[in-house]
């Protein structure tokens, strides 16, 4: 396990200009009922970055995203978004600030077709992508507009889940395991989409088990273990940290 100095260094903003991060998480604690899941998470995300949380199953990665989004009942610590403290804010208020969460289970409404799923979420801020812009990103969805959610492949469901949050106007996207269970060709398409969204100014916090995929899109990485961030490094330092990654992740 990395020492405390290494973990502390991982939480400092990686900006040359000294600008404040768009998301700053400090000493984040979270519980499911009586179960204490997060034990002082610290990390930050700068505007325009793709930051990936890596770790084994059960490390606390998904709970971290849910805590930032305000959908964990009991949480303490500090979560600042665009300089505003949101640790006590409701999830709908956080969404209206421009934060969107795409869960691992995707949350597609099976009885609705693709068009209805796309149009269902409310527009929370100006600047959401139009349907034509979404179809440019995901041509498959245009071909499947009248198909029910139950008739979509896993890859098409994932595309739809991401597309829905792009309509809302959110510019800070949290994606939980977007490549889970997908074919390699679809994983590649998701990677191209993330790269394009970053180029267009979106900021993305990504949870991934697939380290090889994360390595194609991330600017920085944080390693989560037992509800804490234990290490962190930039993509430029990836090769120098491969031995540690093998130890942390068992890859």
Considering only CA atoms, which of 193, 205, 101, 195 is closest in space to residue 155? 193
Query: Band of the pLDDT at 236, cuts 50, 70, 90?
Result: very high
Lowest-confidence region among 2-11, 69-78, 213-222: 2-11
From CA 135, how far away is CA 143, in angstroms rounded?
9
Amino acid 64: pLDDT: 98
Q: Which residues pair with 228 in a beta bridge?
A: 225
Asked if 223 and 51 count as a contact pair (C-beta separation under 8 A), the reply is: no
* Alpha carbon 160 to its chain's center: 16
Amino acid 16: pLDDT: 36
Query: Band of the pLDDT at 17, cuts 50, 70, 90?
Result: very low
Strand 84-85's sheet: what is its strand order?
35-45, 23-32, 74-81, 84-85
Asked if 112 and 151 count as a contact pair (C-beta separation under 8 A), the reply is: no
pLDDT per residue over 131-182, tens digit each?
A: 999 999 999 999 999 999 888 999 999 999 999 999 999 999 999 999 998 9
Range 71-76 average pLDDT: 94
What kind of fold does domain 47-72+89-249 have according to CATH?
Answer: Rossmann fold (3.40.50)
Query: Band of the pLDDT at 125, cuts 50, 70, 90?
Result: confident
Alpha helices (H) in 27-130, listed in sequence order = 61-69, 91-96, 114-119
Report domain extents, the chain.
47-72+89-249
End-to-end alpha carbon distance in the chain: 16
Range 83-104 average pLDDT: 95
Phi/psi at 53 (nearest 5 deg)? -95, 120
Asked if 221 and 43 count as a contact pair (C-beta separation under 8 A), the reply is: no
Q: Which helix (H) or strand (E) holds 71?
A: none
């Amino acid at each position: 396990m990395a020492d405390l100095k290494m973990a502390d260094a991982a939480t400092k903003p990686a900006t040359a200009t000294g600008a404040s991060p768009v998301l700053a998480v400090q000493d984040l604690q979270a519980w499911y009922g009586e179960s204490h899941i997060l034990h002082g998470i610290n990390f930050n995300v700068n505007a325009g970055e793709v930051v990936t949380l890596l770790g084994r199953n059960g490390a606390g990665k998904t709970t971290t995203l849910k805590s930032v989004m305000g959908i964990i009942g009991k949480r303490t610590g500090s979560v600042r978004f665009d300089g505003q403290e949101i640790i006590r804010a409701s999830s709908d208020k956080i969404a209206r600030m421009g934060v969107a969460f795409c869960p691992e289970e995707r949350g597609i409404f099976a009885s609705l077709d693709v068009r209805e799923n796309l149009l269902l979420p409310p527009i929370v801020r100006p600047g959401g992508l139009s349907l034509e812009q979404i179809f440019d990103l995901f041509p498959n969805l245009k071909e499947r507009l009248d198909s029910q959610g139950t008739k979509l492949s896993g890859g098409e469901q994932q595309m739809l889940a991401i597309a829905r949050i792009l309509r809302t106007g959110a510019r800070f996207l949290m994606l939980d395991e977007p490549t889970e269970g997908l074919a390699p060709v679809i994983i590649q398409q998701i990677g191209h989409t993330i790269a394009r969204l970053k180029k267009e100014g979106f900021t993305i916090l990504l949870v991934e088990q697939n380290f090889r995929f994360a390595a194609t899109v991330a600017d920085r990485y944080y390693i989560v273990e037992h509800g804490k961030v234990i290490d962190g490094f930039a993509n430029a330092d990836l090769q120098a940290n491969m031995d540690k990654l093998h130890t942390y992740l068992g890859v």
